[in-house]
Structure 1
Amino acid sequence: MEPWTAMAERWPDRILEIRWLCAVDAEFRSIVSDYRAACDALDRWRGVDPPGSERIVGFEDLIIEIEAEIEEMLK
């Protein structure tokens, strides 16, 4: 699965722009890969740790930070 697919739910109206940026911008592609990895990790830990655990909160915070970077690059 392509890394940008994790972003389809968060930014459905921007998915064509996201796919294009992934194709032409290595920095954006790297951030998108980081976002996908963080989302996957959060999903895994939600199945193991109790809600509100330090690990889950850490990944939620990381995802928020990465989303802010992505938002900035989409401007």
Structure 2
Amino acid sequence: MPSCRLLGPVSLPGYRLVFHKIGMDESGKCDLLETGYPDDVAWGVLFSMDEADKPALDVAEGPSYYTTFLDVVFK
């Protein structure tokens, strides 16, 4: 997406990164699983993106793609 900008690393306490989904190509797909346990921490990278680019991202990801919005603290 043209407007994507790297902001940096971010952690999500109470989540784990899991590969429990199978794609149409039979490859593993990752997802964030909310555990509620503060000792579980998922690490990732935070990007910003203009809202105008979201429709193109939706097309690129395909029909089974869904969006979940989370509040994160970025330092």
TM-score class, shorter-chain normalisation, is under 0.3
Q: Determine which structure has the larger strand proportion and give its number.
A: 2
Higher CA-based Rg: 2
State the structure with bigger RCO (CA 8 A, min sep 6), 1 or 2. 2
